[in-house]
């Protein structure tokens, strides 16, 4: 099956101006368009990030590329090319492997990203996919986590929580939104929300050497978070579910005023919400009904290993 799959890939994967030499050789040649090169890698596995028995292979392949595109968006960079390594279960059919690739190509093509090559193998275990994505900074520079300052306002795109109902497969990486915001405004810090708003915001604040204070009444809650029937409230889902893959960024008060007045993402149909501010005191905080500052529990996804 391997030779058949490789032959199909050679015919199926389109050429790309950013990749003068693509799949079929020992390595790919990638043109990073003259800007600083950036790279990110993510792995998804059956039983953790998807369930092979329940989810469509095309959606799984799409997710493998899309989560990396979200990391590129977090840096306000342009994606160029992806390399995918796939460990297939022995029982996987050739058609199944093709469906995975078609899902990868769906989202890669949408964001003008080449599938430049990779590796495929088989084993007596669950499906695992690792994708490395290469991108290039724009003339406006990279958006990093460590630039936040006390007083900066905190923004998020979209709505949060309930991603388990399908958003974690079908989300749109915020490439276009990040590039637009970084071109038009001077943003101080940013990242994407992959593990949950509260844990990711706490990471951004810590990296910037500050704390964060949320206005909980302004956190945009997704309809899916309200549909979940469990012990957690919709707000708790919005704070801690993870896999929202929305942008989280900060901007100085004057830049925040411009963003609020100009509503730059409206033409893209994407909501942008100011949800708090950075503060001197470390940690994650909120104001209670008496306007007293209270510490928030940090919730979100953490990998469990090490005994």
Of 137, 164, 190, the position where a domain reaches its end is 137
Task: Give a yes or no: residue 304 inside a domain.
Answer: no
Tokens of 153: 């306002």
* Last residue within a domain, chosen from 137, 170, 200: 137
Query: What CATH number has the domain bearing residue 262?
Result: 3.90.650.10
Q: Could you tell me if 96 and 26 lie in one domain?
A: yes
Residue 289 belongs to a domain: yes
Question: pLDDT category, 24, cuts 50, 70, 90?
Answer: confident
| pLDDT score of 96 more than 80 | yes
Closest CA to 178 of 271, 36, 32, 75: 75
Helix/strand/coil for 191:
strand
User: Partners of 117 in the beta sheet?
Assistant: 83
- Count of domains observed in the chain: 2
Share of the chain above pLDDT 70, in %: 97
* 211 and 178 part of one domain: yes
∠ CA 174-13-105 to the nearest 5 degrees? 30
Model pTM?
A: 0.92
In a domain, 148, yes or no: no
Q: Which of 80, 104, 137 is the last residue of a domain?
A: 137
DSSP annotation of 20 reads S
Tell me: do 89 and 185 sit in the same domain: no
- Does residue 197 lie within any of the structural domains? yes
Query: Is the same domain home to 163 and 289?
Result: yes
**Mean pLDDT over all residues of the chain?**
93
Q: Residue 205 is part of which domain span? A: 153-295
The pLDDT of residue 19: 83
Here the CATH number for the domain that contains residue 121 is: 3.30.1330.10
Is there a single domain that holds both residue 132 and residue 170?
no
- SS3 string of 130-164? EEEEEEEECCCCCCCCCCCCCCCEEEEECCECCHH
Handedness of CA 79, 142, 35, 30 (dihedral sign): negative
Specify if 143 maps to a domain: no
103 shares its domain with 207: no
The model's confidence at residue 62, banded by pLDDT at 50, 70 and 90, is very high
Query: 219 in a domain, yes or no?
Result: yes
The yes-or-no verdict on residue 25 having pLDDT over 70 is: no
What digits encode the pLDDT tens for the residues 206-251? 999 999 999 999 999 999 999 998 999 999 999 999 999 999 999 9
- Please, which residues have CB within 8 angstroms of residue 31's CB and are 6 or more apart in sequence? 17, 18, 19, 20, 80
């Amino acid at each position: 099956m391997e030779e058949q799959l490789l032959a199909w890939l050679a015919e199926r994967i389109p050429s790309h101006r950013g990749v003068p030499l693509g799949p079929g050789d020992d390595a790919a040649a990638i043109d990073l368009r003259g800007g600083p090169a950036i790279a990110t890698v993510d792995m998804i596995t059956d039983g953790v990030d998807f369930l092979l028995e329940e989810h469509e292979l095309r959606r799984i392949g799409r997710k493998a590329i899309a989560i990396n595109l979200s990391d590129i968006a977090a840096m306000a960079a342009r994606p160029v090319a992806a390399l995918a390594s796939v460990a297939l279960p022995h029982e996987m059919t050739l058609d199944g492997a093709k469906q995975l690739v078609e899902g990868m190509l769906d989202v890669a093509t949408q964001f003008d990203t080449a599938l430049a090559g990779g590796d495929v193998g088989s084993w007596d275990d669950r499906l695992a996919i690792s994708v490395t994505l290469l991108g290039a900074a724009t003339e406006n520079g990279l958006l990093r986590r460590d630039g936040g300052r006390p007083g900066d306002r905190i923004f998020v795109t979209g709505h949060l929580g309930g991603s388990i109902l399908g958003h974690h497969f079908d989300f749109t990486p915020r490439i276009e939104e990040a590039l637009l915001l970084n071109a038009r405004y001077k943003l101080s810090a940013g990242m994407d929300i992959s593990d949950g708003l509260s844990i990711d915001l706490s990471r951004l604040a810590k990296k910037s050497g500050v704390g964060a204070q949320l206005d909980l009444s302004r956190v945009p809650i997704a309809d899916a978070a309200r549909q979940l029937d469990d012990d957690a409230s919709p707000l708790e889902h919005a704070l801690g579910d993870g896999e929202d893959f929305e942008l989280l960024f900060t901007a100085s008060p004057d830049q925040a005023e411009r963003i609020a007045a100009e509503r730059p993402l409206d033409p893209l149909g994407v909501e942008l919400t100011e949800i708090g501010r950075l503060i001197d005191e470390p940690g994650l905080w909120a104001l209670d009904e008496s306007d007293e500052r209270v510490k928030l529990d940090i919730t979100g996804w953490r990998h469990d290993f090490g005994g």
